[in-house]
């Protein structure tokens, strides 16, 4: 009696295993049943024991891709990180960092408590900003210089989890950029050309003596910036 009950229990368990495993790996179960002469339930149980592939969900398989921010400048092994938060995605230059202290900039902008800055940078190309690049190239040639890396920089106001426009040409947002290696010259001097909406422009002089970087005073709001290299005479 006990032996018959045990057989029925085992048969029931094998049948349940068969239903579960067949849905997960029918091919493996079929192979066991065909090659070993096992019943479907026994084959399913054997397959479940030897199945080694991990079961992953779609959420586990999905990878989170993080775009690295280009918000640091490295000079002789010393790393300078931007003092302002934001999205730094201009990769035509090796690195960019706002170096003005945050407190000084907040005083210039007359910000209240809990008001901050948000910086966005990205590269400019002929097919994305043809007019801006053409203007910068004309300006560079007019100053006997060559236009190099170009990028857009927007300095906005951040308050209550939202980004708002900020226009203030009087602000001096001291910014340091690394000069691309291919654009460097031993005897050249550099500057940055700044073009704002409407075509108004300004040549921003290099404020440092480091041959691998340019330090200049950027403006609040949105503008196109380009590194220019003065031609040797």
- 2 pLDDT band (50/70/90 cuts)? very low
- Determine which of 5-9, 146-150, 154-158 has the lowest per-residue pLDDT on average: 5-9
Give the pLDDT mean for 132-150: 96
> What pLDDT score does 28 carry?
37
> What pLDDT score does 216 carry?
98
Q: Is residue 37 helix, strand or coil?
A: coil
More confidently predicted of 126 and 205: 205
Please tell me the pTM assigned to this model. Answer: 0.72
Whether residue 211 is predicted with pLDDT greater than 70 in this model: the reply is yes
Whether residue 158 is predicted with pLDDT greater than 70 in this model: the reply is yes
Whether residue 74 is predicted with pLDDT greater than 60 in this model: the reply is yes
Give the pLDDT mean for 108-136: 92
> What pLDDT score does 6 carry?
37
CA pseudo-torsion sign 124, 179, 73, 214: negative
- 59 pLDDT band (50/70/90 cuts)? low
Alpha-carbon distance of 6 to 11, in angstroms, equals 8
Q: Tell me the domains of the chain and their CATH numbers.
A: 2-60 (no CATH), 72-230 (2.60.220)
Measured between its terminal Cα atoms, the distance across the chain in Å is 109
> What pLDDT score does 54 carry?
54
- Hey, what's the torsion of the CAs at 210, 211, 213, 215, to 10 degrees? 60
> What pLDDT score does 90 carry?
97
């Amino acid at each position: 009696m006990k032996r018959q009950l045990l057989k029925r229990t085992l048969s029931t368990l094998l049948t349940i295993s068969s239903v579960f495993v067949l849905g997960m790996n029918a091919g493996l179960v079929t192979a066991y049943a065909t090659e070993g002469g096992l019943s479907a339930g026994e084959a399913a149980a054997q397959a479940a024991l030897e199945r080694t592939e991990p079961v992953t969900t779609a959420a586990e398989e999905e990878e989170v891709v993080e775009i690295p921010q280009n918000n640091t400048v490295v000079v002789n092994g010393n790393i300078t990180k931007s003092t302002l938060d934001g999205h730094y995605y201009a990769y035509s230059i090796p690195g960019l960092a706002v170096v003005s202290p945050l407190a000084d900039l907040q005083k210039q902008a007359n910000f209240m408590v809990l008001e901050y800055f948000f910086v966005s940078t990205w590269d400019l190309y002929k097919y994305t900003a043809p007019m801006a690049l053409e203007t910068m190239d004309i300006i560079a040639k007019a100053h006997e210089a060559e236009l190099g890396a170009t990028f857009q920089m927007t300095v906005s106001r951040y308050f209550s989890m939202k980004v708002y426009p900020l226009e203030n040409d009087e602000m001096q947002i001291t910014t340091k950029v690394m000069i691309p290696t291919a654009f460097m010259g031993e005897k050249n001097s550099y500057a940055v050309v700044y073009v704002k909406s409407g075509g108004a422009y300004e040549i921003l002089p290099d404020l440092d003596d480091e041959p691998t970087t340019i330090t200049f005073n950027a403006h609040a709001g949105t503008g196109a910036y380009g590194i220019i290299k003065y031609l040797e005479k």
